[in-house]
Structure 1
């Protein structure tokens, strides 16, 4: 049995290990990570198995264009290998999207595989004129309107918005050091 709950502080370590397992350390160099960096998520959900262990995670972050139009950036979504094939990712996605809609958010964007995310209503043809501050494969840049027309006012480059993470400045030297060393092949 899988239970979806709001992410709690005690899930942090397990979440980071799961993300490392699913995406590797190179996840810190991705454009989506750059947009999330230094901010707290708007929503963060954990899927727990019958033992209380983390089976999956998903988070949504606030992004804004230069005119102040908002959207949510979903990611990362990850499921522990032992729970894959049990629809944990589907349940996390449906829960996250339902919460976003219930709280009045108009749209959700992400970078991911259309073949997976189209079952939730995501499309690759809703983001004309919208970019992230870094390289993104346009075929993987997807969006879902929770409110019809919500993306019509969004344009240009999206940047981080929402609550600043007060702990972030303490963690940055470690991540930057990792990225600098990995870029040099160390």
Structure 2
């Protein structure tokens, strides 16, 4: 598998005065507005959203990027089970269109995943673009190993081991795990 935050090409520096901080309840409205702008209303029909529905986010790992009091990026983590194996589902990851390609998404993921690893989490999965997420240590999940609740392009199902060997036992249907 792969380790958290492997050596990758240098990301662009964050914009001056941008800060990655933990999400709190005061950010909820701005995060939802950013997700609506980034993904539109069709996001609710996606399989990953079905896993998030009625499944509280793990605020201890969620991160936002603030620039001069404005929320310009956010990443969310939710608890799931894959068969009997606990894992985190990463997403949505959103960056305001004005600030794309500036390293914000990668910084948000890395910071949230570092907090998850420090807290003993072992595995993070997501549905997304493999070349982009590879920069944060994600690799394709072997076909047939995991089953999502609804249609998904399994070629976009990715995982990152925060603990070596944690992907192998993660087999079967994914379901919410609102602990």
TM-score greater than 0.5 by the shorter chain? yes
Structure with higher Rg: it is 1
TM-score by structure 2 length?
A: 0.85
Give, in angstroms, the shift of residue 120 of structure 1.
Answer: 1.1
User: Alignment RMSD, CA only?
Assistant: 1.3
Partner of 2:152: 136
**Stretches of 4+ moved more than 4 A in 1?**
none
Within the alignment, does 1:53 sit opposite 2:70 as a pair? yes
Residues 112-155 of structure 1 show CA distances to partners (whole Å, capped at 9, x for unaligned) of 00010011111114464211111110111000111111122111
Partner of residue 175 from structure 2, selected from 159, 162, 175: 159
Task: Considering fraction of residues, name the structure with more strand.
Answer: 2
Partner of 1:44: 62
Give, in angstroms, the shift of residue 156 of structure 1.
Answer: 0.8
Give, in angstroms, the shift of residue 81 of structure 1.
Answer: 1.2
CA distance in structure 1 between the partners assigned to 2:117 and 2:136 by the alignment: 13
SS at match of 1:90: helix
SS at match of 2:139: coil
CA distance in structure 2 between the partners assigned to 1:126 and 1:41 by the alignment: 26
SS at match of 2:167: coil
SS at match of 2:169: coil
**How many residues were matched structurally?**
161
Residues 98-124 of structure 1 show CA distances to partners (whole Å, capped at 9, x for unaligned) of 111111111100000001001111111
Partner of residue 128 from structure 2, selected from 99, 108, 112: 112
Give, in angstroms, the shift of residue 10 of structure 1.
Answer: 2.0
SS at match of 2:56: coil
Within the alignment, does 1:92 sit opposite 2:108 as a pair? yes
TM-score by structure 1 length?
A: 0.82
Question: Unaligned 5+ residue runs, structure 1?
Answer: 164-186
Question: Unaligned 5+ residue runs, structure 2?
Answer: 1-16
CA distance in structure 2 between the partners assigned to 1:65 and 1:101 by the alignment: 18
Task: Considering fraction of residues, name the structure with more helix.
Answer: 1
Partner of 2:9: none
Question: Contact (CA 8 Å) 1:106, 1:147: kept in 2 or not?
Answer: yes
Question: Contact (CA 8 Å) 1:126, 1:151: kept in 2 or not?
Answer: no
CA distance in structure 2 between the partners assigned to 1:94 and 1:41 by the alignment: 17
